[in-house]
Structure 1
Amino acid sequence: MRDLGVPSSIVLTGATTGIGRATALALAGKAGHLILHGLEPQSQVTDLLAEVRAALPAGATLSYFAADFSELVAAERLVSHVRGVTERVDLLVNNAARPGAPTRTVTDTGYELTFQTNYLAPVVLTSGLLDLIGTGRIVNVASATHLSASLHLDDLTLARHGYSPSAAYAHSKLALVTYSCWLASHRPSPAIDVVSVHPGVIATDLLHAMFAVGGDPPEHAAANLEYVASLRGDNGTYYDERSPAQPNPEATDPATQDQLHAATVDLLAY
């Protein structure tokens, strides 16, 4: 296990609520430059930013950018914002996500909202920052729900398949795990590690929007993400909390990975 060290440049999405908020506080002590993303404008998260700033090492920098991933152009703008404040990313944690919408909802680019927010936006962000992650690490926050899903390569935005909030969420997370496996095999440098992780069943608004279950506190997930973020030499691994585990077999199938990648390229050529 490595120490992320200082100064490390860390990008964390979905950092203002739930797992992301707890993870921002957990990673703050390891950051030389902590770059946080959230849905809310900065004026609405001043208390969080003050708490994070107090946890930073002396001399460290905090940046915050708001972006609503229901608009893909917002993810593109976030790439520009991040590139404007750092020339290096040591750790990218793609945590931002939304529960499945109550009914199938289509974005202005014509894609199912959950799939766009939880999958397409992280792909846009990761692709846009990849050249800055020369020797760094990408951690994609997945969900064990992906194990029960099937990837609809002929209908990625769920126009023809039966829709439910939980199924849309699981489908988007399966796409993210599959992408993680694809990128692990196509990383531009062997010095980059790409992993995905189920952080646990966590009591958040996202969980309770879809499932009538309890869960561990967000700090439990944050500790798991902090641990996985500290590892190296595990490129392509899927973690169930802190333990390497087998993901959905579709995610590890090279043909499925390539088909998803090709379809994603087409979708992002809007």
Structure 2
Amino acid sequence: MPSSIVLTGATTGIGRATALALAHRASPLILHGLEPADEVADLLRAVRAGMPAGAELFYFAADFGDLDEAERLVHDIRGVTERVDLLVNNAARPGPPTHTLTGTGNEITFQTNYLAPVVLTTGLLDRVEAGRIVNVASATHLSASLHLDDLTLARGRYSPAAAYAHSKLALVTYSCWLAAHRPSPSVEVVSVHPGVIATGLLHAMFSVGGDRPEHAADNIVYVAGRHGDNGTYYDERRPEPPNPEAAEPATQDRLHAATLDILAV
């Protein structure tokens, strides 16, 4: 039976490959990207060609640098489906060359890679009644520290790679918190490092090579198909311990409280 699937960051790199890999099992398939629909028409045609006959495909553009757009995305998705079997929070940005704040005063990498997925997940949680949430993380989170007293990285802690790792540590920590506070035992929440992948995001921060995006997509699809693993962090396809900070309930609760305060503002 086809599943109702939501995938963010679906137009480039890992997300594009994942959209194509999930197409055959989805109805509806709801894709998100930064670009207007007419700029990704070729991708949408390729995805539609891989979908089951009669399956529905929706595309919504939203810039996670603006949390109002993340809220609008929630509204758009809720308008086209009553059920979400799989939510893949993949959208991400590299840390920009210089410390950059959004209009609401959040460090932009933290907002895009962490706050916006929280907004989207929270807004769709009642639709994920018996579904699965897969948060696409990064092994860089293992070397980061969560600066709960300085989530904007304003105190001389900023570098592009540090901001990216910090945002992904927050996402893994949130995954662990949500796994412990899921609204129903039928909801499963996991996070996954999909591999070191040769994308524009990687090369914006690191001078290294990497595997093809299809390698990451295969790993995400594999993890998306697992069951009975609520709270697991995957290094590609292997369950591994996350950063100890992410696994600490007190840290999870402090991040959650700080997040609620930020989003309230």
Alignment of 1:155-170 (within 5 A): 155-170=150-165
Any idea what SS the aligned residue of 1:45 has? helix
Aligned partners of 1:222 and 1:164: how far apart in 2? 28
| 1:76 aligned partner, one-letter code | E
Alignment of 1:100-139 (within 5 A): 100-139=95-134
| 2:37 aligned partner, one-letter code | Q
- Name the % identity: 78
Aligned partners of 1:230 and 1:158: how far apart in 2? 36
Any idea what SS the aligned residue of 1:43 has? helix
**Aligned position for 1:53:** 48
Shift of 1:236: 0.1
**Aligned position for 1:255:** 250
Deviations 1:201-252 (A, max 9, x none): 0000000000000000000000000000001110000000001001100000
Which region of structure 1 is more displaced relative to structure 2, 156-165 or 175-184? Answer: 156-165
**Aligned position for 1:145:** 140
**Aligned position for 1:9:** 4
Q: When the two structures are superposed, what TM-score results if normalisation uses the length of structure 2?
A: 0.99
Task: Structure 1: state its 5+ residue gaps.
Answer: none
Shift of 1:188: 0.3
Aligned partners of 2:222 and 2:212: how far apart in 1? 16
**Aligned position for 1:21:** 16
Any idea what SS the aligned residue of 1:145 has? helix
Aligned partners of 1:161 and 1:175: how far apart in 2? 19
Any idea what SS the aligned residue of 2:58 has? strand
Shift of 1:161: 3.7
Task: Structure 2: state its 5+ residue gaps.
Answer: none
**Aligned position for 2:74:** 79
Which region of structure 1 is more displaced relative to structure 2, 235-244 or 151-160? Answer: 151-160
Is contact 1:14-1:39 (8 Å) kept?
Answer: yes
Shift of 1:32: 1.5
| 1:29 aligned partner, one-letter code | H
Q: How many residues align?
A: 265
Pick from 224, 231, 235 the counterpart of residue 240 of structure 1: 235
Aligned partners of 2:170 and 2:27: how far apart in 1? 32
Q: When the two structures are superposed, what TM-score results if normalisation uses the length of structure 1?
A: 0.98
Indicate the RMSD between aligned Cα atoms, in angstroms: 0.5
Deviations 1:156-181 (A, max 9, x none): 11111421000000000000000000
Q: Which runs of 4+ in 1 moved over 2 A?
A: none
**Aligned position for 2:169:** 174
Aligned partners of 1:234 and 1:162: how far apart in 2? 35
Any idea what SS the aligned residue of 2:32 has? strand
Any idea what SS the aligned residue of 1:29 has? helix
| 1:31 aligned partner, one-letter code | A
**Aligned position for 1:186:** 181
Aligned partners of 2:212 and 2:156: how far apart in 1? 34
Aligned partners of 2:205 and 2:235: how far apart in 1? 20
**Aligned position for 2:215:** 220
